[in-house]
Amino acid sequence: MHCPYCHNDDSRVVDSRTADDGAAIRRRRQCPECSKRFTTVETAALQVQKRSGVLEPFSRPKVASGVRKACQGRPVSEDDLAKLAQTVEDAVRAVGNPEIPAHEVGLAILGPLRKLDEVAYLRFASVYRSFESLEDFEAEVALLRMERESSADLSDPPSVGVSLAATPSVKNQQDRQAGTNH
């Protein structure tokens, strides 16, 4: 590692610590020539293979930028986008390959984006999956509704025996419809 101050091509590691939840190593170094200290951060390289075959480094900002376009006008903050990009990076790193096709990065974006904002998800999916007709949108919306209903069925607490008919406002409305007054 070259010293950023005197450009000596040697340095000594003084301290090493993990950073970013173990995804990186932060090293404190000292130059033997000028005795100045500097910090380096090491991460495992992750390359994205584009359709053209070109490899480029994975970029969280690029993921956030692509999703930001789908989130225009939606209640999604920059922090939400940063968290989503981190989630995507964690997912593609978990695959364990140093090179990952761009298509798989797109697939890794869809799940977290669906949880973040369904409208932004539809926008992103329509471009990513090349929707060509209204039927493509309808099918995706139907799938979202099905998944929402099935997750709602699983997360709904069991009924505690309260009937809507027992509540005063519903009871009064039912009486008015029946023509009786109490």
Token pair in block for residue 82: 């940063």
**CA 139/CA 145 separation, integer angstroms:** 10
Per-residue pLDDT in tens (0 to 9) along the chain, 182 residues:
889 999 999 999 999 998 877 778 999 999 999 999 999 998 888 899 998 999 999 999 999 999 999 999 999 999 999 999 999 998 998 888 889 999 899 989 999 999 999 999 999 888 888 888 889 888 988 988 888 888 776 655 544 433 333 333 333 334 434 444 44
- Minimal CA–CA distance to 71: which of 83, 61, 79, 81? 81
Token pair in block for residue 151: 């997750």
**CA 16/CA 39 separation, integer angstroms:** 10
Tell me the CB-side half-sphere exposure of residue 25, using CA atoms within 13 A: 10
**CA 151/CA 178 separation, integer angstroms:** 37
- Minimal CA–CA distance to 24: which of 93, 81, 84, 104? 93
For residue 48, give every residue at least 6 positions away whose Cβ sits within 8 Å of its Cβ, in sequence order, or none: 55, 56, 57, 58, 99, 100, 101, 102, 105
Q: Can you give the pTM of this predicted structure?
A: 0.62
H or E stretch at 70: helix 60-70
**CA 128/CA 23 separation, integer angstroms:** 28
Token pair in block for residue 62: 């690029």
